[in-house]
Amino acid sequence: MKIKLFILLLLLPNIFLYAQDTLKTVTIKGQMPMIELQADKIILHTENSIIAPGETALDLLRKAPGVIADNEGNISIMGKNGTTIYINGRQLYLRGKDLAEILKNTPATQIAQIEIIMHPGAKYDAAGNAGIINLQFKKNKSDGINGGINIGNTFGVYPKYNSGFSLNYRNKKLNAYTNYNVGIGNYDAYTSMLRTITDTIFDQQANIRVYNRTHNLFTGMDYTFNSKQSAGIMITGLSTDKQMWTAASTNIIERATHQADRILLGHSFSDNKRKSLSTNLNYRYASNGKEWNIDADLAIYNTNGNQLQPNIYFKPNTQMPVDSNIYRMYTPASIYLYSIKTDYEKQFKKSKLGFGAKSSVVQTDNNFSQADIIQQQELPDSARSNHFRYTENINALYVSWQQRIKGVLLQAGLRAEQTNSKGNSKGFQYQHNRFENYDSTFYLHYLKLFPSIALTFNKQPNSQWSINYNYRIDRPAYKDLNPFEFKLDDYTYQKGNIHLKPQYTHSVSVSWLYHKDLLLMADVSHTKDIFTTVTDTTQQSHTFIIKDNLARKNQASLTVSYHHRFHWYEIFVNTGAYYAVYQGDDGIGRRISLQSTTVNCNLRQRFLLGHDWQAELVVSWSSPSILQAYFQSKSLGSADGSIRKNWAHGKVSAGITVRDIFNTLTTHLSSNFAGQEIIAMNKEESRQLSVNLSYHFGNNQVKPARQRNSGVTEEDKRTK
């Protein structure tokens, strides 16, 4: 396959201005520690971690305190879903599998630190129930030119390859930067699922191989006109090429006799390509304690999917097919996002006033078509095709205030967001034993207020407190609103839900930082209309995968983080305990009332071996938990190890990393809901060995690109 250029602009602005006046940073003199603890956030200095070479941004997130991230792009903080991802202060506008692909193909060696902020202020979009994770790329500190080259190979079931370079130039007026990475490789996975639906059992096993090719490039420049004014442009692009081969076998068993009635073989192939381009223009004026920013954004996303899905039926112990259904599906889609925002701040002696506005428009167009393949000829099937359009406009105003009073910092804000949306789905639905034409249009209009307040107490440097409250929203992904039934196989369908509502979360947290080493965080939250994935059986022997709202989720969590460094040894321990109660009632036989206590532990140990040799060991464990409100998972654990050697004062570095040394990362799930019992297992290619080499050249103290935040933030992550 021809290599497709994949442009990913990653260097983005830091927008955490409200946190600048919060608690003092806890640092350790000498070399910056791997873990930096603050009362309002946790910072991981991943550039000081030898586990970073050979790993990806997704790997780093999995090791961050209080963070859980899976391969599907679902990321939670303190047990709460709905995390917004930023890179250098600008939101990464992807979600789900697309977000996971970007994080998997972003080398960890380019990331300087990870910031975890659970209670963003009114200046930020109200979206993201769990808060913000900001990935800060490596920065530079004086005029000149510098760059770096990284090369890596990973060996598992299949080999993978990654490489890239970065280049930055800055003088008194101009700062220009470019960063490019490429990742190519095959990935292996195995899944099994045992579904019991009324009188039928479906016993399915599938071997999956995924080929993924990604190229990412970010580029931009900032120009300073004078001491008061500056402007900049950033261009972000994305192109991915992904093929997936699935060899699935399903035994269809009569429950009464436990004898196989038929065997379904499905050797499917899918080819998915995604391209995107986004541009941010920014102007900044600052003078005499006043600052004004304006951002204009345009983002365009295009995807093109092509899937071949054969369904061949056999009688047990025979090799002659008794029936077959072969389909080809085409899924082109486009998304356009427009945004403009402005922010103003006025600094007083002991206080700060801020206010601003934002308006964004999103337009999506999804055209699904299916064809039956009969005697190697494709026959279009309009009865199973669909065209879905969706338009959304969000307008926002906010005001914020900061006040210092004798060692206490008060931060308060209020954000108002008005949402106007329209969706239209055209196609056919199976009703009354036949396919009927339908044209479904829905409208949504609502206005919500989102308050936030924070108190920080830092009179005593060795004992600091922070109390936070905020109210946040998560809106549905655009495609989850499309009511069309997409066939995954002859017995499994996926469809959206036009009645899917946003989920809202009230959250209160208390943080205590003691003696620079120990951080305790307690959090209580209430989420209304929480998103969940339902596997339903509205028709006998057919499973429908649907996004729905559960009535509520109440959760209490406690996280303990401890970090200490000796002369040759450094340790960081992070433990989180989460108690959650899920409740909902969808009708007779569809009531949910589940309680879950989950414990996550992460132990990182670093050893300084002398002569520029370092080693690191990371052990992680998670107890059984509840996922998506309906699925119960078993415990998970893994161990990673790394060793690294530096030369030429750190300009040259080589490292070896072994992930999941004992090959223990296997996911086990079970569910019993609405007359359907599910037992599932998923094993991905988790045990891998990576070898990496990096070289840095030029002035290593070049200043970073000017930090600023884009206007297109929450909208893009919902593109999925």
SS3 at position 71 = coil
The CA distance from 186 to 191, in Å, is 17
The pLDDT of residue 49 is 60
Task: At 713, give phi and psi (nearest 5°).
Answer: -120, -85
CB within 8 Å of 19: residues ≥ 6 apart: 40, 41, 117
Amino acid letter, 179: N
Say yes or no to pLDDT of 666 above 90: yes
User: How many other C-beta atoms lie within 10 A of the C-beta of residue 516?
Assistant: 18
56-70, 122-136, 396-410: range with lowest mean pLDDT? 56-70
Amino acid letter, 261: D
The CA distance from 588 to 382, in Å, is 35
- DSSP characters over 105-126: TSBGGGEEEEEEESS--TTS-S
The CA distance from 393 to 242, in Å, is 32
238-242, 334-338, 482-486, 573-577: range with lowest mean pLDDT? 482-486
- 152-169 burial: b if 16+ Cβ within 10 Å, else e: bbbebeeebebbbbbbbb
pLDDT band at 229, cuts 50/70/90? very high
SS3 at position 102 = helix
Q: Where are the beta strands (DSSP E) in 566-623?
A: 569-585, 591-610, 613-622
User: Who wins on pLDDT, 97 or 394?
Assistant: 394
SS3 at position 642 = strand
Backbone CA torsion sign across 23, 27, 32, 34 = negative
pLDDT band at 407, cuts 50/70/90? confident
Query: Helices marked H in 231-346 — which ranges?
Result: none
Which helix (H) or strand (E) segment holds residue 103: the answer is helix 96-104
Q: Can you name the residues that pair with 411 across neighbouring β-strands?
A: 402, 454
Say yes or no to pLDDT of 460 above 60: yes
Given strand 75-77, what is the order of strands in its sheet?
Answer: 67-69, 75-77, 80-81
Domain ranges of the chain: 17-374+381-717
Could you report the per-residue pLDDT of 632-659, keeping only the tens digit for each?
A: 889 999 999 999 999 988 889 999 999 9
8 A C-beta contact, residue 237 and residue 8 = yes
The pLDDT of residue 714 is 52
Question: Is the overall model pTM greater than 0.85, yes or no?
Answer: no
8 A C-beta contact, residue 131 and residue 19 = no
DSSP character for 661?
T
Say yes or no to pLDDT of 95 above 50: yes
SS3 at position 567 = coil
Architecture (CATH level 2) of domain 17-374+381-717: Beta Barrel (2.40)
pLDDT band at 702, cuts 50/70/90? very low
19-23, 115-119, 376-380, 478-482: range with lowest mean pLDDT? 19-23
Closest C-alpha among 607, 613, 609, 693 to residue 646: 613
CB within 8 Å of 434: residues ≥ 6 apart: none
The pLDDT of residue 66 is 75
The pLDDT of residue 174 is 92
